[in-house]
Structure 1
Amino acid sequence: MPPKADPETLALRKELEDLYKKLQEEQKKQQDTTFEQALEGVAAAPRVKLSTKKQMKGHLNKVNSVHYSGDGRHCVTGSLDGKLIIWDTYTGNKMQIIPLRSAWVMSVAFSNSGNYVACGGMDNMCTVYDLNNRDSNGVAKMVRELAGYDGFLSSCRFTSDKSIITGSGDMKICKWDLESGRKTSDFIAHNGDVVSISLAPDGNTFVTGSVDKTCRLWDMREEKPKQTFFGHEADVNSVCYHPSGYCFATGSEDKSARLFDIRSDQELATFKPPSPNSAFTSCALSISGRILLCGSDDNNVHMWDILKNQHNGTLSGHENRVTSLSVASNGLAVATCSWDQTVRVWG
């Protein structure tokens, strides 16, 4: 049993919750129409029909994270078997296998150029590998070990081949210069573990999700959030920028996915599956931004037409919870990974 909070802490929590509610009420007052009313005249999107094009086996334990390279062909996966695998999703072949010093990998990232991959997890470290350079064993060369976290590394994303941004269980966001291996920024970003990071299409801003139930919008050059978004009732496990750059989607432990608008500073829509009995681990948007995909702990990927708030289909095939998904940059495929130790490519 967790220790009981003292009366002062409980009073502060209540005060914070009351402030959250007040903020939400003020936001609601600004609404002159609803998302549904504004889009009444839009026709529903045709049903998305995706099937498994490749089922890629090779990991020997739960696969926790997948991320596509900028070429839309290669992806990297990280597993609790202590390995990163670089896959050719067109052929299903393994291109490289990278053994890790720590098996507790939670997040992976592929640089847009396809030159580097990064990973991290319970080792409280972000490790970067150069795929174009091999060591004496023929394995991709480790070029950086970025240490200095007081918690697990939950998320990482390359902003370029020379810099990376990370979120961690110590509530911090760090930006790193990969050439020098030094932090350029290090700041408390949330009131709980930072779980997910998504970069804006223009690369100038990014959004984060946290176990403090909020999402925050950041400018790359500033260390204070530009906006904070409320609404979720549990951990925000995943955030994903809309291709337009004007809004973002979320997937949460509270069994809902949501769409938040940056310009109007509020939630536009809430998405729930036909039988809302499962939490969402990950989310992504189609290249058009019309279809939202969410990986779930019910072993499926749920899809919605976001403009009509209609459930658009389910991708079934995994035999355990879907932990992560990534949409190819060309929009032609979706990669998913699962605790069933497999990676699937849908198209």
Structure 2
Amino acid sequence: MPPKADAETLELRKELEDLYEKLKESQKKVADVTFESVCSGVSDVPKPKLSTKRLMKGHINKVNSVHYSGDSKHCVTGSLDGKLIIWDTFTGNKVQVIPLRSAWVMSVAYASSGNYVACGGMDNMCTVYDLNNRDSSGAAKLVRELAGYEGFLSSCRFLEDKKILTGSGDMKICMWDLETGRKTVDFPAHNGDVVSISLSSDGNTYVTGSVDKTCRLWDVRDQKPKQTFFGHESDVNSVYFHPSGQAFVTCSEDKTARLFDIRSDQQVALFEPPNKTSGFTSCGLSLSGRHLFCGSDDNYVHMWDTLKTQHTGMLSGHENRITSLSVAPNGLAFATCSWDQNVRVWG
């Protein structure tokens, strides 16, 4: 019996690969012009002159995730020291320290209103805290523990104060009503762990990245992918919506970053570093969409001009793997966190 099952699996895999090749051929046929040729007349962008504006120290273990509040001033970080820290990025001071029930935090989210933060990880749970209310110990009040995952929580984003979207290692996307603590949506989204979620600026659509090497575009009101994007050769570690809402960038374990255009339904640009030695963990775009930033395993933030696909430099400062990158909503700065236990604000 097992050999038969193996043969069937191989046959199905070959059928899937053949379909993928046909899809790529179809995409090539409609790609009548290259991104580089269209942008060849665009003048080079001045090299970004960015530096560390704030070095924020406070965690005593690897920092795995950072996310900005909607006010572009505060951010939250989650670390393996079992703490969430709310930072004032203007001063570099800690605003709140929230002790967690589980130290294995992998993802954090800040509600754009600034009222709530959420986190989760290897505890297979999404935990939500109210920053405006305190418990008996004086820390932000725990308001919800959202359980029911069969895998680790890899990503979470607030749709609004009382609604949160989560992705997890059980390949699922869930939506939760925080008033009741109940799931309103629960469906398999990928053929591997869901690793990253990015919301469009209007909040109606979102894009996901997965270890199945694909990205998918979703409507918050539907449970079927609107589009699936191929191209990466390894895990897609991070996705980030273009400010226009018509494209998104990704970065991957395959040591590349890519730009996917939603209207043309395919990859339009490939971004590679001068030396392809390390995978990328996180990505973000400037407010104009012209500058791409990627945090890397090599401790640097790599930068590209998105229209010319030119590598424009690297930002140094972190002394270990950069795990997460978050761009301030006003576009004036971005924050990175690292296994070196520090958080840096660049501007």
TM-score, normalized by the shorter chain, greater than 0.5? yes
RMSD value over aligned CA atoms? 0.8
Which residue number in structure 2 is paired with residue 235 of structure 1?
A: 235
Tell me the alpha carbon deviations over residues 65-85 of structure 1, each in whole angstroms, 9 at most, x when there is no partner: 000000001000000011100
Q: CA deviation at 1:11?
A: 2.5
Distance 1:21 1:125 in 2: 38
Q: Within 5 Å, give how 1:141-220 maps onto structure 2.
A: 141-220=141-220
Query: Which residues in structure 2 correspond to 1:321-336 (within 5 Å)?
Result: 321-336=321-336
Say whether residues 1:64 and 2:64 are aligned partners: yes
Q: What residue identity is the alignment partner of 1:204?
A: N
In structure 1, what residue type is equivalent to 2:134?
R
Give % identity.
78
- Structure 1 residue 14: Cα displacement: 2.2
- For 1:19 and 1:321, locate their aligned partners in 2 and report how far apart those are by CA, in whole Å: 37
Matches for 1:271-310 after TM superposition, within 5 Å? 271-310=271-310
1:251 Cα deviation from its structure 2 partner: 0.4
Give the Å deviation of 1:282.
0.4
Question: Which digits, 9 at most, give the CA deviation of each residue in 1:71-126, with x for residues without a partner?
Answer: 00100000001110000011111100001111000000000000000000000000
Structure 1: 4+ residue segments shifted above 4 A: none
Matches of 1:245 and 1:300, distance apart in 2:
27
Give, in angstroms, the shift of residue 7 of structure 1. Answer: 2.8
Pairs aligned (count): 343
One-letter amino acid of the counterpart of residue 108, structure 2: V
Q: Distance in 1 between matches of 2:186 and 2:242?
A: 26
Structure 1 residue 253 displacement after superposition: 0.4
1:114-151 CA deviation, whole Å, 9 max, x = no partner?
00000000000000000000011110000111111000
SS of 2:18's partner is helix
**Quick check: 1:128 aligned with 2:128?**
yes
Match of 1:87 in 2: 87
Report the CA distance between 1:40 and its aligned residue. Answer: 1.4
Q: Which amino acid aligns with 1:168?
A: S
**C-alpha distance in 1, partners of 2:238/2:94?**
27
Give ranges in structure 2 of 5+ residues lacking alignment: none
Structure 2 Cα separation of the partners of residues 156 and 205 of structure 1: 15
Residue by residue over 1:245-297, the C-alpha shift from the partner in whole angstroms, topping out at 9 and shown as x without a partner, is 00000000000000000001010000001111110000000111110100000
TM-score, reference length from structure 1: 0.98
> Aligned equivalents of 1:78 and 1:254: distance in 2?
26
Cα distance per residue 1:227-249 (max 9 Å; x no partner): 00000000000000000000000
Q: What's the TM-score once normalised by structure 2's chain length?
A: 0.98
- Paired residue type of 1:79: S
